[in-house]
Structure 1
Amino acid sequence: MRKSARRAGRARSAGLGRGARLGDTAIATVTVVALGSGMWLLGGAGTHAPPQPATAEGRPDPGGEPPAARALAPSPPTRIRIPAIRVNAPLMGLALTASGSLDVPPARNKNLAGYYEAGTLPGETGTAIVAGHVDNAQGPAVFYDLGALERDARIEVDRLDGSVAVFSVDAVEVYAARDFPDEKVYGAARRPELRVITCGGGYSPTTGYQGNVVVFAHLTGSRP
């Protein structure tokens, strides 16, 4: 990543807000296009599209959200675990592409997710971003079942300093690509929050996945 882009990203201590305008719309487009191919569905290997969030799992009004735990010191994340959907995957750093959009993990590795390394790190105050594929040409990938998560599910993020940041799911929502709410997903937060993103919104053989599944979560604690 260019030094100028890294400096701008780190300056946004509250996450991917609109203040810096570091390509949040482009990031939304990338997550729609590149976080799942659906090719295995076309090949007849898959029997159904990935699960989609229930309406009941939608995000409550911000005023009704529970308080978060105290923010942690910055430390790069190394692994994400979501026990409810059997996710246990290493994390790689994701930079920005030449067009200013967020890069994605290599599709060939089904059990790999990534985090935006120039933005808020999981556990810091602000909005941390984790993204991963829903599938690849061979079948389901790391976040295939993300849409099946429910409120209060636990997300654990191992960090380089040896600590584990523990998050609780506030909501799981799905958005059409044309109506992706950049500010709601990437906007600044005053508490430590996490977004986990993959493709979703149904699948069409002609146009691919129609949008994105987004998990909203907040920090509830940590352990050594």
Structure 2
Amino acid sequence: MPLLDIQQLDVFYGDFQAISGVGLSLAAGEVLALIGANGAGKTTLLRALTGLHPPRAGRIRFDGADVTGLPAEALARRGIAMVPEGRMLFPSLTVEENLHMGTLTRRQGPWTLGAVYEVFPVLKDLRQRNAMQLSGGQQQMVAIGRALLSNPRLLICDELSLGLAPLIVEEIYRTFERIRGADLSIVLVEQDVARACAVSDQVTCLLKGQVTLQGASRDIALAQVTAAYFGE
């Protein structure tokens, strides 16, 4: 049984259909790269997955249960966490206070404050600093750590490398091997298609709200990705 199973999902903004008939599945411990140009529907799909924008049709099953249309807080308690585009840290809080926000789901698991500091040791040194005083890369580490402290089964990462220097991006992606495991699946939205394919088990490409390519990352050629990405 897949951890995440989406079937024939339709999502609208008023009369505009942003997602049409999208389906995908993800097993426990797998990483799915969700790719597509701006406006392809990636963010809308993530909003539906996290309960921020309920679908009009279709089904979302998570960990064996139908969670279609559940609110964001209910999905968070079930084990879905998101690292949002732009980090979205609390500007009035310190690094450690921002991290503690992830514990509000009260889910039990391997991720503790100490475990996060082991993965991102720089955050321990900066734990009493205001989060807005950190560099963009350090803020991204806080956003990832906050999500991990909810002890999710599914971690959704939206544009991890956006606006970051290449060396910082490399550092963040090196942590993925320590983060991912048998009990944690990841949905990764990334504009760097080559990187997304390299770190993932599966690829799903969206174009104008529909799936144009889907399959195992190792079996998909770059030419196929390019054609699906641009609709050629």
TM-score (norm: length of structure 2): 0.27
Greater strand fraction, Structure 1 or Structure 2: 1
Greater helix fraction, Structure 1 or Structure 2: 2
TM-score (norm: length of structure 1): 0.28
Larger radius of gyration: 2
